[in-house]
């Protein structure tokens, strides 16, 4: 079966891997001109590490852990607690996507610099038109295109029906250095604002994150210059290293800005179209579990399609049964994290951003990973 995946982030590349492993023919379309975009460190934990192990990628992710040395507070508070960088394992988001891409690119078609324009379903498949490329037919379509999913809007309805804003915006960007500050720091608190600098690779690189509270803002998602003006306006007049951070932000090329928000839907599929990761059930950066959730969801979705021999109605229903309780718990953690964001809580991970989050909470819903096939792929290098 031919499956179109919209989005080449963590969810999309992982789904491509597992679909190909189970004998499907995935095609990935990505609106960006290249794969591996996005700043920030993501934390991985629990079942997500099991998924990486089954992909023969766990050791490579471990080798790329960017956090070196101790972390210190700029206000003199000493070492940050171990939960400061959430997850059992950390990796730069771009490097995780790069590993997944390299594990799939020889057997998966990637169409970069294009996106889905229309989706028309019938009894036999899905006719898809693209913004640039020629129309094509697929058996199934998977939307793994993030919080602002175009696939979701085309098939399920407008963004405002499903996206719940949590009152926080975050900007992240790379720095040429860490401005002379020791290790990784949380800058002194500001009312309704927070700033952090994460030094990695033995202080050879650094990433900054600026957070502020706000209701929903109207802006062009593709206008990076506008995003930088919004952030600069929010932090104007602040002292310490903030002016220097804003100066570095103004010329940063690896820059990302977005809301902390969740996606809440009654169903993640409609006919032959299914949603995955942030597109269907974003838990918000404040959950600290976005990338883990994407990896697990990709494994489960592809596995259920394999078990059902491609019968999508049964497979999509089983996928939701496996993931619903898990996602609900993560989303609760995301809401609680947003409520406590400016109460001195430590840093957590986020897709495309370093974000603040919650302490480890008891988990009642676990995804027990099924063995969807008798053996797992270990095809590195391809």
How confident is the model over 217-255, as pLDDT tens digits?
A: 999 988 999 999 999 999 999 988 899 999 999 998 888
- Residue of higher predicted confidence among 380 and 14: 14
The per-residue pLDDT for 164 is: 94
The per-residue pLDDT for 368 is: 72
CA-to-CA distance for 154 and 165, rounded, in angstroms? 21
- Name 90's bridge partners: 43
Q: Which two structure tokens, joined as six digits, stand for 215?
A: 């209701």
343 exposed, middle or buried (CB, 10 Å; 0-12, 13-18, 19+)? exposed
What percent of the chain clears pLDDT 90, i.e. is strictly above it?
A: 56
Q: Does the domain at residues 2-356 carry the CATH identifier 3.40.50.300?
A: no
Average pLDDT over residues 261-274: 96
- The answer to whether 205 touches 39, Cβ cutoff 8 Å, is no
pLDDT at 303 over 90: yes
Where does the pLDDT of residue 37 fall: very low under 50, low under 70, confident under 90, or very high at 90 and above? low
- Residue of higher predicted confidence among 75 and 200: 200
Where does the pLDDT of residue 306 fall: very low under 50, low under 70, confident under 90, or very high at 90 and above? very high
Chain segment 315-335, per-residue pLDDT in tens: 999 999 999 988 998 888 888
**Which of 129-143, 193-207, 358-372 has the highest average model confidence (pLDDT)?**
129-143
For every residue of the chain, which 3-state class applies, written as one string? CEEEEECCCHHHHHHHHHHHHCCCEEEEEECCCCCCCCCCEEEECCHHHHHHHHCCCHHHHHHCCCCCCCCECCCCCCECCHHHCCCCEEEEHHHHHHHHHHCCCCCCEEEECCCEEEEEECCCCEEEEECCCCCEEECEEEECCCCCCHHHHHHCCCHHHCEEEEEEEEEEEEECCCCCCCCCEECCCECCEEEEEEEECCCCEEEEEEEEECCCCCCCCCCHHHHHHHHHHHHCCCCCCHHHHHHHHHHCCCEEEEEEEEECCCCCEECCEEECCHHHHCCCHHHCCHHHHHHHHHHHHHHHHHHCCCCHHHHHHHHHHHHHHHHHHHHHHHHHHHHCCCCCCCEEEECCEEEECCCCCCCCCCCCCCCCCCCCCCCCCC
Q: Which two structure tokens, joined as six digits, stand for 206?
A: 């650094």
Q: Which two structure tokens, joined as six digits, stand for 172?
A: 């992240």
The per-residue pLDDT for 186 is: 67
The per-residue pLDDT for 53 is: 93
Dihedral of CA 382/35/297/327: which sign?
positive
CA-to-CA distance for 376 and 324, rounded, in angstroms? 25
- Residue of higher predicted confidence among 238 and 378: 238
The per-residue pLDDT for 116 is: 98
Chain segment 121-163, per-residue pLDDT in tens: 999 999 999 999 999 999 999 999 999 999 999 999 999 999 9
pLDDT at 210 over 80: yes
Dihedral of CA 276/303/48/31: which sign?
negative
Closest CA to 19 of 245, 322, 267, 310: 310
Chain segment 63-81, per-residue pLDDT in tens: 888 764 333 333 333 222 2
Question: What b/e readout covers 207-235, taking b as 16+ CB neighbours within 10 angstroms?
Answer: bbbbbbbeeeeeeeeeeeeebbebbbebb
CA-to-CA distance for 282 and 260, rounded, in angstroms? 10
pLDDT at 87 over 60: no
pLDDT at 202 over 90: no
**Which of 157-166, 194-203, 284-293, 325-334 has the highest average model confidence (pLDDT)?**
157-166
Where does the pLDDT of residue 85 fall: very low under 50, low under 70, confident under 90, or very high at 90 and above? very low
Could you tell me which residues come within 8 angstroms of residue 38 by beta carbon, excluding any fewer than 6 positions away?
A: 9, 93, 94, 97, 256, 351, 352
Strands 193-200 and 89-92: unpaired
């Amino acid at each position: 079966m031919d499956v179109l995946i919209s989005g080449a982030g963590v969810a999309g590349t992982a789904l491509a891997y597992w679909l190909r492993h189970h004998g499907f023919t995935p095609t990935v379309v990505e609106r960006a001109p290249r794969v591996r975009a996005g700043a920030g460190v993501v934390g991985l934990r629990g079942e997500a590490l099991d998924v990486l192990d089954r992909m023969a990628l766990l050791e490579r992710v471990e080798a790329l852990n960017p956090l070196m040395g101790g972390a210190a507070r700029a206000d003199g508070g000493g070492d940050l607690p171990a939960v400061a960088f959430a997850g059992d394992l950390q990796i730069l988001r771009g490097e995780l996507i790069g590993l997944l891409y390299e594990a799939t690119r020889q057997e998966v078609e990637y169409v970069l610099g294009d996106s889905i324009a229309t989706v028309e379903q019938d009894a036999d498949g899905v006719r898809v038109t693209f913004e640039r490329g020629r129309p094509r037919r697929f058996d199934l379509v998977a939307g793994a295109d993030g919080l602002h999913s175009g696939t979701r809007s085309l098939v399920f309805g407008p963004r405002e029906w499903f996206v719940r804003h949590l009152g926080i915006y975050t900007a992240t960007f790379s720095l040429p250095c860490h401005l002379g500050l020791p290790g990784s720091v949380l800058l002194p608190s500001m009312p309704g604002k927070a700033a952090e600098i994460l030094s990695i690779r033995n202080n050879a690189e650094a990433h900054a994150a600026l957070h502020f509270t706000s209701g929903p803002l109207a802006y062009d998602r593709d206008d990076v210059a506008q995003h930088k003006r919004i952030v600069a306006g929010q932090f104007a007049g602040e002292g310490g290293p903030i002016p220097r951070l804003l100066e570095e932000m103004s010329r940063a090329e690896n820059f990302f800005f977005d809301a902390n928000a969740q996606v809440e839907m009654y169903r993640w599929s409609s006919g032959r179209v299914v949603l995955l990761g942030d597109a269907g059930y974003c838990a918000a950066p404040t959950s600290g579990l976005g990338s883990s959730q994407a990896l697990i969801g990709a494994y489960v979705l592809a596995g259920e399609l394999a078990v059902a021999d491609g019968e999508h109605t049964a497979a999509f229903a089983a996928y939701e049964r496996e993931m619903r309780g898990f996602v609900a718990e993560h989303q609760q953690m995301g809401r609680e994290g947003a409520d406590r964001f400016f109460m001195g809580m430590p840093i957590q991970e986020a897709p495309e951003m370093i974000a603040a989050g919650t302490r480890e909470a008891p988990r009642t819903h676990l995804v027990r990973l099924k063995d969807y096939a008798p053996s797992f792929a270990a095809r590195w290098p391809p």
